[in-house]
Amino acid sequence: MSDSETAVTTQSYLFNTGRGFQSQDYLGCHWEADDQVSFRVWAPQAQAVAVVGTFNDWQPTALTLVGTTGIWQGRLTDVQAGDLYKFQITSQRGEKQLKIDPFAQQFERKPGDAAVVLKPVARQWHDSLWLARRKKSHPENRPINIYEVHLGSWRRHDNGDYYTYAELAAELIPYAHQMGYSHVELMPVMEHLLDASWGYQQLGYFAPTSRFGTREDFLSFVDQCHQANLGVIVDWVPGHFIRNYDALYQYDGTPTYEYADPDRADNRRWGAWNFDLGKTQVQSFLISSALYWLNDCHLDGLRVDAVSNMLYLDYDEGREGQVNQYGDNRNLAGIAFLQELNTEVFQRHPDVLMIAEESSAYPQVTGRVDQGGLGFNFKWNMGWMHDTLDFFEMDPLYRHDHFNLLTFAFVYMFDEQFILPFSHDEVVHGKKSLMHKMPGDRYNQFANLRTMMTYMAAFPGKQLNFMGSEWGQFLEWRDWSQLEWVDLKDPLNHQMQQFTAALNQLYHANRPLWELDHQPAGIIYSNTDDAASSTFGFIRQAKRKYSFVVAAFNFVPVERRQYRIGVPYPGEYELLLNTEAKAFGGTWTQLETTFTAIDEPYKGQPASFEVTLPAMGALLIRPSKVKGESKK
């Protein structure tokens, strides 16, 4: 057996046994050393398979079945870079169907979905310094402040055309950097046909969408982000795929990537097909996809969409009562897949982010796999998000009776390693923008929004905000048009944007706000039991004993004078942030900038000081020289 035949046998074996985690390097379209182009596709139940494309005038060239592997292959000459192609699958019933290449790394622009032949290019990356810095510490101990972006609607040209990856690099990267974000999280950039799906109905699991340019253009965008000290996270959808019959559905004429049971295959909630996560070839396909984006595209993390759909047999509509062999509703194959996915990712990239968008109370989502957990290192805190928005949407007159919406999150905040998300899902489909959710007149809406954003920055957990919220866009998000950048001509919107930038930079510069996010030592409870006055306060602690930030909040439009705050040490303290500063759109023209804590115990703390707590506002304060702190 030749070396090439041995390689084919090995790769086929790995793919079929669920261990082929670089399957894109074998399946799909590849340029060979002799300038021939190989085509390989998995279609185990097909009667025949052929490749068609611009290189053969879309007339079928037959491929050959490789033993009992279910993989068909062939080599062609006269294929050029940029040629388009598909596979023609003949089912056992003799029906012919043109299908996409599941492993294609670039597709033609919609509405077409033919794959593009790519000639391999040795890319020169320029992000080695970023990657080296990324390896120095675990992400749990770093400041993570994510700007969630939908590339198709962040900006558009006046005629409605998309910005290209190059144009987005020129404008989005410096903007996100200037605003003080640590990462951008891109709503799915994997190839998809329907704009209205926002990318969650995916077609190509290895291909950046051609809407904005080529694969190389996308890689350049990521490279430039890293050079600007900006991480890149992308939403990834391993639970379900697009319904289109020329995509993955019944790929060889039978259920191939989806469940054989049509009821389990049908995802009614999202109008998609569910992957059969217990099938070994599907495991190879999906884990290869995840590792491709992390390895080949240098991404800093994946936000895994709709994890609950993979954890429960009865998650979808109309599936009530479905149980496994143990009599409960867990999807054992889905759980095993997620554990395998995270195990393989972190063996290769211990410094990346694997973020679960998981909406239930499933335990140990961020727990270790060897201890029964799913193995993610972060989970969106959906409970905190819903409760916080419910509280801030409420008329301040009634907030004192609903402080449990704020305090309940303290009960479970260390159960998982959380990210606090104000995501796209909360500002669409009639839910209103964050700004529009806030009660009161326009001035009070901005005051509420500034206070809520400060509450997020102070609460334990990393953070994520969707584009447009940083300046308080009033209209809810629309995927078909750009953000309302014209808002920034309004002084209040402009000042809100300046506030967000200042808050983000403050967050990054103060270790207490992120260093111990997931440890009980990272928070000290102080003024958390004064619901009657609708005020609230706590202390965030860093590893260093005397490094902490005092956070105090007033959730009603009534100024609180001589408001006492308990702190661990007497001494001198300084103001970090007053959300009601004139520069941010507030009313305070003169700020209290220094405070002296005396040996007067208060709220369980040995010392305390008084402040004027602004109406519908928040203060962040830190020690400047406290008793007991070494001069060194």
- Return the active site residues: 305, 357
Give the DSSP H/E element, type plus range, for residue 232.
Answer: strand 231-236
- The closest alpha carbon to 376, from 351, 361, 356, 359, belongs to 356
Q: In this structure, are residues 65 and 108 in contact, taking their beta carbons and an 8 Å threshold? A: no
Q: Which residues, listed in sequence order, are joined to residue 236 by a DSSP beta bridge?
A: 304
List b or e across 572-608, with b for residues whose CB sees 16 or more CB atoms inside 10 angstroms: ebebbbbbbbeebbbebeebeeebebeeeebbebebb
Position 77, amino acid: T
Determine if the peptide bond prior to 111 is cis (ω within 30°).
yes
Residue 237: HSE in the Cβ half-sphere, 13 Å Cα cutoff? 23
CA distance 183 to 410: 26
Q: In this structure, are residues 102 and 41 in contact, taking their beta carbons and an 8 Å threshold? A: yes
Token pair listed for 107: 């597709």
Helix (H, G, I), strand (E, B), or coil: what is residue 82? Answer: coil
HEC profile of 557-619: CCCEEEEEEEECCCEEEEEEEECCEHHHCCCECCCCCEEEEECCCECCECEEEEEEECCCCEE
Q: At what angle do helices 3-16 and 280-295 cross, to 10 degrees?
A: 110
Token pair listed for 563: 């408001």
Q: How is residue 330 annotated by DSSP?
A: B
Furthest C-alpha separation in the chain: 87
List b or e across 181-194, with b for residues whose CB sees 16 or more CB atoms inside 10 angstroms: bbbbbbbbbbbbbe
CA distance 583 to 236: 39
Token pair listed for 81: 């870079």
CA dihedral sign, ordered 607, 523, 541, 421: negative
Q: Which residues, listed in sequence order, are joined to residue 611 by a DSSP beta bridge?
A: 563
List b or e across 493-530, with b for residues whose CB sees 16 or more CB atoms inside 10 angstroms: bebbbbbbbbbbebbbebbbbbbbbbeeebbbebbbee
Token pair listed for 575: 């103001």
In 1-54, DSSP assigns E strands to 28-31, 37-42, 48-53
Token pair listed for 519: 């440890």
Position 395, amino acid: D
Q: Which residues, listed in sequence order, are joined to residue 266 by a DSSP beta bridge?
A: 273
- The closest alpha carbon to 423, from 351, 510, 522, 355, belongs to 355
Spell out the alpha helix ranges (H) of 395-490: 404-407, 409-412, 434-437, 442-458
CA dihedral sign, ordered 443, 445, 448, 450: negative
Token pair listed for 420: 């606090």
